[in-house]
Amino acid sequence: MIGGLLRAELGFAGIVVSDDLEMAALASSHSLESSGLAALRAGSDQIIVSRMLLAERCIPGLFADLRLAIADGAIPAATVATALGRIRRFKKGLPWKVDAAAARTVLRAPAHLKLREEVERHARG
C-alpha cells in the first residue's frame, strides 16, 4: 500500500509515520519489536511509541532487531537511507530550527531525562 499506491501511484514523497505501536489492537497480540519491524518493512519512515517506559517495554530490543534486520537484508539499507533522506528534507523545510540542546532543557522530570538518555544511547549503538 505504501510503496505501490501511496508512493508510486499517488506520487507521495513525504514522510510516512506509523500509527501508535502501543495501541491496544497491536499491543494485545504483537510485541513492540515485531510491530515496529513490520511497520518499517511496510514502508513507514518513522514509528510512534507513545507511552513506552523502558522498565515495561523493550526499546533496546527494537533497536537491536532493527540493526539485525538491516544487517541480514530483511530491511534493505537503501530503504533506511531513503527514509532518513526524506526525514532530513522535511527537517530542512521546517520554518524553525530544531535545537536539540534547547529541547533537552524542556525535559525536567527524572523519568523523562532517563528515557531520553536511554533512547539516545541505543540509537547510537
- pLDDT per position as a tens digit, 69-124: 999 999 999 998 999 999 988 888 877 776 767 766 776 777 777 777 777 777 66
59 vs 89 pLDDT, higher one: 89
Domain that holds residue 88: 2-96
> Which long-range contacts does 26-35 make (Cβ < 8 Å, 24+ apart)?
31/58, 31/61, 32/57, 32/58, 32/59, 32/61, 32/62, 33/58, 33/61, 33/62, 33/65
Q: How many domains does the chain have?
A: 1
- Residue 20 is assigned to a structural domain of this protein: yes
- Residue 106 is assigned to a structural domain of this protein: no
pTM recorded for the entire structure: 0.69
